[in-house]
Structure formats: C-alpha cells, structure tokens
Amino acid sequence: MSILVMKFGGTSVATLDRIRRAAKRVGREVANGHEVIVIVSAMSGETNKLVGFVEETSPLYDAREYDAVVSAGENVTAGLMALTLQEMDVPARSWQGWQVPLKTTSAHAAARIEEIPTDNILRKFDEGMKVAVVAGFQGISPEGRITTLGRGGSDTTAVAFAAAFGAERCDIYTDVDGVYTTDPRITSKARKLDRIAFEEMLELASLGAKVLQTRSVELAMRYNVKLRVLSSFEEMSDEAGTLVCAEEDIVESNVVAGVAFSRDEAKMTLQGVEDRPGIAAAIFGPLAEAGVNVDMIVQNISEGGTTDMTFSCPINEVKRAEKAMGDAKAAGLIDFAGLVADTDVCKVSIVGIGMRSHAGVAAKMFQTLRDEGINIKVITTSEIKVSVLVDRKYLELAVQALHDAFGLERAA
C-alpha cells in the first residue's frame, strides 16, 4: 500500500459542492489502491473573517487566543470532508491537529512543526480506514494549547505529513493549475512552469508568491518530498501541474524564473538614532521579541553622531513595531527623534538560479523600472534574487514591465 497526501486549499473546499468534487478525486485515488491523507484548509474567506473578528475585539491580541479562534475554520471542513467521503462509501475519519497529535513549538500564529507521530493514523489504516482527513494549519504546543502555523500553513501541514508518512507524493490542489512565472492574476502573459527548483520556489514563496507557504517548500526540500501544485478544477492527469524539484532535475530554465511581489509592506524609518556600536541590536532585538518580521534594513549615512535607520515589515505589524520602539525608548534602551511609517509601498522581486552565473541582472531590473518612471525606495539582493520597495500604485506596472523585460512569457 502506498500513501498519498492530497491538500485542498480554501477555494477547493469553498462550498459543499466543491467538497464533493474534491472528495471524488480522493475516491479515485483510493480506487487506484492508495491510502490517502487529505489535508484541508478552511472554506475560502473563512480564516480572513475569523482574523477580522480577533482584530476587532483586541487590536494587540493575545496570540494564544488568536490561534484558538482562527484554527476553527479547518475543523469544519475536515469534518465535512470525512462525512462526504463516508456518503460515497469511502471509509474516512477526521482528525484535528491536537488529535494526531501534530506537535509544534509554542510560537503562536507562527508555530513550527516539531513532530507528527504516525501510529494513530497507521493503526486506522490497518483497520480498513482508507482516508484520514486532517485539519490543516493547526497543531498543539508543549503547553497543550492550540497553535497555528501562519497564513497558508495548510501547505506546510501537507508536506510535513508527506515526510512523516513517507508518502509517494504530496499534491497541493489549488485554484490555479500550477506555479506561474508570476501571479496569473497580475498579467495574462504569466506562463505556467512544468518544473521549478526548490530554491527558486523557496524565494518566490518567501517574497510573496502565496501559491505555497515558504515553510512547506523548506520541508519538501529537506525531506525530498515529491511536491506537485495543481488545479482542483481540471481533469486529472499525470502530467498536470507544476513539479517542485531539485535543480538537477530541470533541463533548461530562464535566468530569471519568476517575479514575486508583496502588496502589504510598510517602510518604517527611525529618525535621529544614535550611531554607536550596539544600536542595531538595541533596535532589532525588541522588534524581534514583539514578533515583527523585519525584512529589508538600511542604515543611512550618519550626520553629527546620529543616523536614520529604515526597515520594512508587513503592514499589519506596524502597530506592534511602533509599540516596541516606543517601549524601548521609554525603557532607555534607544533614543530617536521620530518614527515615520510609510504604508503605501510594496515589494517587487525577481528570482532565478541563473543569476548566480549571469552578471547585469540587477542593473537590467533597475533600468526597466527607470524606463517606467518608477522610483526605487529600498533595494536588497541575495545570490538568486533582487528585491525593491516601490510605491504601491506601481505594483502591477512594475511586475508587468519586469516580466516583459526578462522575457518570461517564453520558455528558455
């Protein structure tokens, strides 16, 4: 018997009818002789609604209660999927994260998976159950509280189960038929990739391409999980979708594999901070403790012993960042003249393994943006990516221009 993991995202379980369609796919794999672990997301829109309730009730919420609330959406779909399968005479049972138990760290709202014991579910398979339906996105902390894995976390649940059970494959069913050169919602020229390297997918995901959660790609890479992204709305075929695989398994690829973006960025500038050894630690330590995910950092030229420190973070963490900096100042840890938040920016990035061996890619990106009259506010680079912060109103224009400039609508 071989085990398959099939994950259905929010749009794929958005209605009872779609749950039935997804269940039919699962039924076909069971008929093919597989035992299946199905990971489900909440119905689309459900998690956003729950997050909204939390933020309205308590703007600087206790993350333990946030998790208690936002994990609930997946419980509903797990039970409904099991019931739907039972109605189709497929022996199925649902599990919430704590019942598995999917053990995580206690970093609420961004917990990491530590262990997935397989005995419970394997025993049920031995007893004749064919499908284990598991609520994605959630687990249990060492303290015994419900945790969640961060937005998009059901992808990570799926890959972690595939690794723990040595599954033959991990299929991520979503509302697009694979990974594209950029979000197909931004440009119709976006092209579906048959294959993409783990490293490239990892960068694209962490830079905003939400088709896979970053952590799921990390896990797939580490445990060599055969990871496929495909549409739950199209007919099944072995060649469908995009395979996320090792670099060696890709024959030809463009220098730039894709363009990613993150709409909800903020640029924060601490003005007039003292320029002394330890100042970066004094600023970014408290930000990290407050759970602010700082991405880009720029320290400006210092004048008269003080400097400006600029960093970017997700827009919904601005309040936390302001509070952390205010508290640090009140406690005498840092001093600054002002804190300015620019919440009208976005981040646009190009990603490609080919950049390791090609010079001039960053320059071409900057020229392309210049030709469109787009001002760059902050730049960061790594071996296989270049990211810029620009005004949000230029997001679509920047993505389209870069997609054209690097010829992404054509295969290499």
Q: Which residues pair with 102 in a beta bridge?
A: none
**b or e along 106-132 (b: 16 or more beta carbons within 10 Å of the residue's beta carbon)?**
eebbbbbbeebeeeebeebbeeeebbb
Considering only the stretches 90-98, 126-134, 145-153, 274-282, report the one whose residues sit in contact with ligand ASP under the rule CB under 6 A. Answer: 145-153
Q: Which of 10, 27, 139, 178 binds ligand ASP (CB under 6 A)?
A: 10
84 binds ligand ASP (CB under 6 A): no
Name the DSSP class of 303. B
147 binds ligand ASP (CB under 6 A): no
Q: What is the 3-state secondary structure (H, E, C) of 90-111?
A: CCEEEECHHHCCCEECCCCCCC
| Residue among 119, 129, 46, 70 nearest 94 (CA) | 129
Binding mask 142-181 for Mg ion (x = CB under 5 A): ----------x-----------------------------
153 binds ligand ASP (CB under 6 A): yes
User: Which tokens is 108 given?
Assistant: 């609420």
The answer to whether the beta carbons of residues 4 and 34 sit under 8 Å apart is: yes
Q: Which of 42, 85, 190, 287 binds ligand ASP (CB under 6 A)?
A: 42
CA 90/CA 312 separation, integer angstroms: 49
CA 44/CA 5 separation, integer angstroms: 20
Considering only the stretches 5-13, 61-69, 70-78, 318-326, report the one whose residues sit in contact with Mg ion under the rule CB under 5 A. Answer: 5-13
Neighbours of 303 (CB within 10 A): 10
Burial of 149: CB neighbours in 10 Å, binned 0-12, 13-18, 19+:
buried
SS3 state of residue 123: helix
23 binds ligand ADP (CB under 6 A): no
Nearer to ligand ASP, 68 or 282 (CB): 68
User: Which tokens is 369 given?
Assistant: 């943006």
Instruction: Return the one option of ligand ASP, Mg ion, ligand ADP, none that residue 211 interacts with (CB less than 5 to 8 A, by type).
Output: ligand ADP
The answer to whether the beta carbons of residues 38 and 74 sit under 8 Å apart is: no
197 binds ligand ADP (CB under 6 A): no
Nearer to ligand ADP, 214 or 307 (CB): 214
Residue 210 vs residues 28, 174, 215, 340: alpha-carbon distances, Å: 28, 11, 11, 28
Q: What is the closest distance, in whole angstroms, from the C-beta atom of residue 378 to ligand ADP in the complex? A: 22
Restricting to residues 152-191, which ones interact with ligand ADP according to CB under 6 A?
A: 152, 174-176, 179-180, 182-185
Restricting to residues 120-149, which ones interact with ligand ADP according to CB under 6 A?
A: none
Q: What is the closest distance, in whole angstroms, from the C-beta atom of residue 155 to ligand ADP in the complex? A: 7
Provide the binding-site residues for ligand ASP, judged by CB under 6 A. 9-10, 41-42, 47, 73, 136-137, 151-155
Residues that bind ligand ADP in the complex, under the rule CB under 6 A? 9-12, 41, 152, 174-176, 179-180, 182-185, 204, 209-211, 258
